[in-house]
Amino acid sequence: MNPHGVGPSHSPGVVEAVDTAPPMTATCLTAAAAAAAVEQCEAFLAGLGTDAYITTSAVMHGGTIGQHVRHAIDHYDAAIAGLRGESIDYDRRERGTDIETDVGSARVRLREIAQVLRTVTPSRSKSPVRVRVMIESASGLEAEHESTLGRELAFAAHHAVHHHAMIAAIAKAMGVAVPTGFGKAPATIHHEENR
């Protein structure tokens, strides 16, 4: 196993991830994967007009592509707060912003997020963070848990892929072409390619 915690296994029958990044990469693999998901969304939005971005969906309970993009961005922003030493709070969301209605604003914010994610080093991804979650709606009761920055970046990326799937369903219902693999989890793509 190499110093980054990935590499060939010395145990028979055990297969571990192999780090295929250049040897001097400064970006943590999890953060790089999260950045790639962000960039995939930004590239999809590059070909999307305003009407498609803000049209209320008939197939996804009245949501819009813009609302799903904003929600995914909120989760990335929450995880990135951990880089600043702040508690990560996925329940703090910025509803009704320009990101929901202006595809250009969303694309700018997605590019900014990808840029930040690409600065996360392997050692920084192991940094402890605090995650706050609301556990009861009536009282607003919250709990706080320990985690790591890398784990929370993985969660934000996984959560975004889930919303990308909803975005893909909305887009397809409007007749908008969706890139192959958009809205599919890496595990799903891996399974489909290795049947």
Rounded Cα gap, residues 117 and 92, in angstroms:
20
pTM value > 0.75: yes
**Domains of the chain by residue range:** 29-175
Mean pLDDT of the 102-125 span = 96
Write the CATH number of the domain with boundaries 29-175. Answer: 1.20.120.450
Q: What tens digit of pLDDT does each residue of 131-151 get?
A: 999 999 999 899 999 999 999
DSSP line for 118-177: TT--HHHHT-EEEEEEE--TTT--EEEEEEEHHHHHHHHHHHHHHHHHHHHHHHHHTT--
CA 154 to CA 35: how far, in whole Å? 10
Distance between CA atoms of 29 and 26, rounded to whole angstroms? 9
pLDDT bin (cut points 50, 70, 90) of residue 92 is confident
